[in-house]
Structure 1
Amino acid sequence: MKNQFLLLVALFICTATFAQKDEIKAAEKAVKKNDYVTAAAEVQKAEALIGSADDKTKAKFYYLKGETYAGMAKTDPTEANYQAAAESFNALFEIEKEQGSTKYTVLAEPTLNTMVTEISAKGIKSYQDKNYSAAKTELFQVYELSPKDTVFLEYAANAAYLDKDYSMALDHFTALKDLGYTGIITEYTALNSETGERENMGNKTQMDLMVKTGTYSQPRVETSETKQPTIIKNIAFVHVEMGDTEKAIAAVKDAREVAPDDVNLILTEANLQIKLGNKDEFAKLMAQALELDPKNPALYFNLGVINGEQGEKEKAKDYYRKCIALDPNYVDAYINLGSVYLEDDKVLVEEMNKNLNDFDKYDAIKAKQADLYKEVIPFYEKAFELRPDDIDTVRTLMSLYENTEMDDKFKVMKDKYDSLR
């Protein structure tokens, strides 16, 4: 009885193997005819039993499956088809690498390279067109197809961040960190003797060859800095955007271990600490930032923003003035300085509304408002001088001129406003 059972099992395995090989042959014929729908059906039949197949059969199966879904992606470029092709080819490469074989790898690589080229071109174009929703998917597909091209995972992470898909961005940036991604590249360049322009030679051999011919000179090898600190910083910034203050602080501290002198990181942590009400820690971090970069106008501008958000109006004004002193053309500092002053206008308007029947008091408050406007006007006029096509500045100036009865200036600004609409 036992022998009979073993015989039945053997017969079943034998029959399944033959069926599987028949389906793989059918898929192979369909692929050669570009009949990918039929090929997909045969591949699906064979897949149920592929786990028990030998490595050579598995390699052929994954090659055919990859070719099938790559072919389907030509007419139906969905994420599912690209992903199925990528997973199949990568499974093939892994199997043959373990076998020490390249039989199907050599056949699959041209298809894979074509897919990578086509999708990367689409993804880069989508990114350049600021279509980040499409770019984040397309650029990640490139990485799935070719995991060795880790830079596309970085591009996908950046696209997801710009698309405000913070969950996806966090996944990608965390994956980059876990992979130990550095993004370091080495460039081999030389000066074109005819044009005088420096050109990328691609590799050292090509660079040396072109220099020997005399058509290029002044060879140069440059290695970029590691992107690891940036990746860790981005993880922190994503947590900030997601509103997870505790995780954001932990990520920022992690980033600061890699880049302890990064002023933007210090500012980010300071802003997070003040949100948690940790004023002492905030003050300590601000002191560190100023000590590291005391002549950086952007630092004072950011300090103005942070203090303004915390209701510290006088401190915010002081920081904006220091920013302007260091860089008289820092247009946003003028706008923000004016905006801080105009916060007092809300109180004046409320007081006027309360005293509509008390004409003397109303007129006195109205006079204070006019004085405030006249004090603020120079800030916005300077901003307009530096950025004449900013419609918000134009609109603000138009309102200020109208309320201070500067009719001639109001008309000029009104004409400017109409031209920008």
Structure 2
Amino acid sequence: MKKVLLTAGICLFAGSVFAQMKNVNAAFNEAKMPKPNFGEARKSINEALKNPDTKDLAKTWYVAGFIENKSFEGDYNKTLIKQSVNEKNMYNALLDSYEKYLVAAKLDTMPNEKGKVKSKYLKDIKNTIKNNQPHFWSAGAYFYNEKDYKKAYKMWEIYQDIPKLNFMAKETLNATDSSYMQIRYYAALAAFQTKDNKLAIKALNEAKKDNYEIQDIYYYLVYAYSQEKDTVNQLNTLKEAVEVLGEKANDPKYQFMSQLINLCIYTGKGDDAIAYLKKALETNPNIAEYWKVLAVLYYENKKDEANAVQCLEKAISVKPDYADAYGELGRIYFNKAVTASNEASLIKNDAEYQKVREEVVLAAYKKALPYYEKAHSMKPDENEYMIALRGIYYNLGDEANLKKIEAEMNASE
């Protein structure tokens, strides 16, 4: 009795497998028809892909990939004769075909019970993937233009991954080294557009190795690190960009040197900022803004008034209408006057106090005055300059100019 039941069980199992293989074969035959019904083919193969008896068979996945590839080929051939197709569906079929063929290739190269590999479908899979590689370039471009950046990145990533597949190692592909560089660049741009900073950083670092459109790559990489608040890698990338690009690091479109200097200042690395400013000015001494920033660092960080003044005078010689440089010079002498005034207030002897006030305090205000007046003439709405001028006029006893500047301040409120 047990033997009869066992035999019946085997028959039932064989019948189930046979029924599902009918689905696989039916789907395969439908896809090979001159005018396939891909809806029916997909319905049949999807049942086999879900069934435990056939879902792990190489043929099932091969047929699934074959169907999608036939769908892609049909639409692509229509485009060659200027017929309109649904490009999204066409390229999604290309992607589905590739992914299903990968599973089929894996199952088709598994050793049998004797430890031997006897592939039935691998040759056709390799040929199809080889022929389809260029289409992944076009697919990426389509999805990029459609602003589906994740799908664009995926398509371009597959283009790069095909030669890395174990079973494609010996295949001669049509792609050139330059095409891979371009694809890595475009894939990096797509990754950046996804707003997924980690993905962007990965793709941009990969593209950076090619030195292709390297200024763009550094620019987007710095931005991605900034969005991740990774100041360490942001700073290191800017340093690398400045080192690699040389004078091009000052390109106003990218401003790598300016970004590096600002980040050094922001992260408390004032000495590094000074060093980079000096380096930049050795290459191009005609950047007035750099002379002004260097002056501020000398003055604020190093308490080096002499070098600060020298840098500001250099900035003005490069850019005579540079209001900020005049304002900084005024600030240095204004602060000198305030400090001297505070120190003088501690002097007990009236005659000595008056002497210091006249020779040191008022002398410093007088030195600050022309610089602030020049800055104010260029930037009449700058409140800082008006406040400083009011203080100077008050201390110098210049009532006429004091009233005039106060009137200007009241009018600007």
TM-score (norm 2): 0.51
1:53 offset after TM fit, Å?
1.0
**Match of residue 167, structure 1, among 196, 206, 212:** 196
**1-side partners of 2:20 and 2:151: how far apart?**
34
Deviation sequence 1:268-324 (CA, Å, 0-9, x none): 333222112232232233334434x245x5x65567689899x98989976765665
Is this contact kept in 1: 2:188–2:204, CA < 8 A? no
Which runs of structure 2 are paired with 1:13-412 in the superposition (5 Å)? 14-15=14-15, 17-31=17-31, 32=33, 33-48=35-50, 49=52, 51-54=55-58, 56-68=59-71, 74-75=85-86, 77=88, 83-91=95-103, 99=119, 101-107=122-128, 113=134, 115-116=135-136, 118-119=138-139, 122=142, 126=145, 134=147, 136-137=149-150, 139-148=152-161, 150=180, 151-159=182-190, 161=192, 163=193, 165-167=194-196, 170-175=198-203, 177=205, 182-183=209-210, 231=217, 234-252=220-238, 263=249, 265=256, 267-291=258-282, 293-295=283-285, 297=286, 301=289, 321=316, 341=375, 342=379, 345-347=382-384, 361-365=402-406
**1-side partners of 2:244 and 2:5: how far apart?**
64
**1-side partners of 2:322 and 2:388: how far apart?**
27
Which runs of structure 2 are paired with 1:3-22 in the superposition (5 Å)? 14-15=14-15, 17-22=17-22
Indicate how the Cα distance of structure 1 residues 284 and 81 shifts in structure 2: closer, same or farther if over 3 A, else same: same
1:154 offset after TM fit, Å?
1.9
**2-side partners of 1:30 and 1:337: how far apart?**
79
Indicate how the Cα distance of structure 1 residues 346 and 123 shifts in structure 2: closer, same or farther if over 3 A, else same: farther
Is this contact kept in 1: 2:71–2:93, CA < 8 A? no
Is this contact kept in 1: 2:136–2:155, CA < 8 A? yes
- SS of 1:237's partner is helix
Deviation sequence 1:73-106 (CA, Å, 0-9, x none): 9537168656434423555677779959422443
Indicate how the Cα distance of structure 1 residues 77 and 361 shifts in structure 2: closer, same or farther if over 3 A, else same: same
**1-side partners of 2:151 and 2:160: how far apart?**
14
Q: Which amino acid is 2:186 matched to?
A: Y
**1-side partners of 2:385 and 2:324: how far apart?**
20
Deviation sequence 1:308-350 (CA, Å, 0-9, x none): 99x989899767656659xxxxxxx979989995386234678
Instruction: State the match for 2:165 in structure 1.
Output: none
**1-side partners of 2:296 and 2:6: how far apart?**
82
Q: Which amino acid is 1:23 matched to?
A: N
- SS of 2:88's partner is coil
**2-side partners of 1:24 and 1:77: how far apart?**
26
**2-side partners of 1:318 and 1:66: how far apart?**
71
**2-side partners of 1:121 and 1:39: how far apart?**
29
Q: Which runs of 5+ in 1 are unaligned?
A: 127-132, 184-224, 326-332, 353-357, 371-402, 404-421
**2-side partners of 1:63 and 1:141: how far apart?**
21
**1-side partners of 2:30 and 2:309: how far apart?**
76
Q: Which amino acid is 1:84 matched to?
A: D
Indicate how the Cα distance of structure 1 residues 143 and 29 shifts in structure 2: closer, same or farther if over 3 A, else same: same
Indicate how the Cα distance of structure 1 residues 320 and 359 shifts in structure 2: closer, same or farther if over 3 A, else same: closer
Greater fraction strand: 1
Identity %: 15
**1-side partners of 2:224 and 2:130: how far apart?**
36
1:62 offset after TM fit, Å?
2.4
**Greater Cα radius of gyration, structure 1 or 2:** 2
Deviation sequence 1:132-190 (CA, Å, 0-9, x none): x72745642541452356433421322554x5x5425x514413535x8744xxxxxxx
- SS of 2:160's partner is coil
- SS of 1:290's partner is helix
- SS of 1:77's partner is helix
Instruction: State the match for 1:220 in structure 2.
Output: none
Is this contact kept in 1: 2:288–2:315, CA < 8 A? yes
- SS of 1:134's partner is coil
TM-score (norm 1): 0.50
Deviation sequence 1:373-401 (CA, Å, 0-9, x none): xxxxxxxxxxxxxxxxxxxxxxxxxxxxx
1:239 offset after TM fit, Å?
0.9
Deviation sequence 1:94-141 (CA, Å, 0-9, x none): 77799594224435665664x4464355468x4xxxxxx727456425
Indicate how the Cα distance of structure 1 residues 338 and 344 shifts in structure 2: closer, same or farther if over 3 A, else same: farther
**1-side partners of 2:325 and 2:129: how far apart?**
62
Is this contact kept in 1: 2:98–2:129, CA < 8 A? no
Shifted more, 300-309 versus 79-88: the winner is 300-309
- SS of 1:146's partner is helix
Instruction: State the match for 2:339 in structure 1.
Output: none
